[in-house]
C-alpha cells in the first residue's frame, strides 16, 4: 500500500507542469552557468517598463540562442506592452512553436487576442492552458480572469 502511494505521488510530481517564467521571475540560467547579462538587463527593463530597452536586451538573447522560447515570450510581452501587437504575436507564436506548452506564452498571447477583441482565440489558449496545467496554474487563472473581465466590460 505504501509503495503504491509513493509511486502515485512520484507520478503526480513528474506530471506537474514545469514552471513558466512570467515577467519579473528569474530567467533560468543553466546549472553552474553565470546569469546572462542581457537577460538581467531585459528583466530590469521590464520591471522599469522600459519596453525599448527590454526589446533590445531580449533581441540579443534571442540572437545568441534562436531556440530560446523564454526570450521569444519576453519579446512578445515587451512588444505587446509597447503597443506593437503584430510583433507581439510574431514572438508569442515563435515561443509556442519552440515550446508548445509554454504557459506564459499561452497566457500572454491570450491577453493580446483580448486587446484585439478576439475572445474566441483567447479562449482557445485558455483551453490549451487547462490541458497543460493539469492541477491548475497561475497562467490559467490569470487568463481566465482577463477573459471574464473583458466579457464583463463588453456587456
Q: Which CATH number does the domain housing residue 9 bear?
A: 1.25.40.10
Q: Give the integer Cα–Cα distance in Å for 105 and 151.
A: 21
117 located within any domain: yes
pLDDT bin (cut points 50, 70, 90) of residue 99 is very high
pTM, rounded to two decimals = 0.81
28 located within any domain: no
Over residues 38-66, the pLDDT tens digits come to: 999 999 999 999 999 999 999 999 999 99
74 located within any domain: yes
The number of domains in the chain is 1
Whether residue 107 contacts residue 139, with contact meaning beta carbons closer than 8 Å, is answered with yes
Q: Which residues have a Cβ under 8 Å from the Cβ of 97 and sit 6 or more positions away?
A: none
90 located within any domain: yes
Q: Give the integer Cα–Cα distance in Å for 49 and 69.
A: 21
The residue that leads in pLDDT, 151 or 34, is 151
29 located within any domain: no
113 located within any domain: yes
106 located within any domain: yes
pLDDT at 71 over 50: yes
26 located within any domain: no
pLDDT at 20 over 80: no
Whether residue 96 contacts residue 112, with contact meaning beta carbons closer than 8 Å, is answered with no
**Domain boundaries, position 119:** 2-21+34-154
Whether residue 147 contacts residue 119, with contact meaning beta carbons closer than 8 Å, is answered with yes
The residue that leads in pLDDT, 20 or 39, is 39
Q: Given this model, what pLDDT does residue 28 score?
A: 64
Mean pLDDT for 66-91 is 97
What are 13's three cell numbers?
A: 510530481
Q: How many whole angstroms from its chain centre is CA 118? A: 19
Q: How many whole angstroms from its chain centre is CA 105? A: 3
Amino acid at each position: 500500500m505504501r509503495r503504491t502511494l509513493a509511486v502515485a505521488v512520484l507520478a503526480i510530481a513528474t506530471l506537474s507542469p514545469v514552471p513558466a517564467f512570467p515577467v519579473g521571475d528569474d530567467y533560468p540560467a543553466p546549472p553552474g552557468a553565470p546569469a546572462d547579462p542581457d537577460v538581467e538587463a531585459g528583466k530590469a527593463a521590464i520591471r522599469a517598463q522600459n519596453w525599448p530597452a527590454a526589446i533590445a536586451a531580449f533581441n540579443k538573447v534571442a540572437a545568441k540562442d534562436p531556440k530560446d522560447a523564454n526570450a521569444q515570450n519576453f519579446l512578445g510581452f515587451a512588444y505587446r506592452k509597447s503597443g506593437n501587437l503584430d510583433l507581439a504575436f510574431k514572438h508569442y507564436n515563435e515561443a509556442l512553436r519552440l515550446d508548445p506548452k509554454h504557459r506564459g506564452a499561452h497566457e500572454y498571447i491570450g491577453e493580446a487576442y483580448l486587446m484585439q477583441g478576439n475572445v474566441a482565440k483567447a479562449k482557445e489558449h485558455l483551453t490549451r492552458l487547462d490541458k497543460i496545467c493539469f492541477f491548475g496554474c497561475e497562467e490559467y487563472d490569470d487568463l481566465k480572469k482577463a477573459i471574464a473581465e473583458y466579457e464583463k466590460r463588453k456587456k
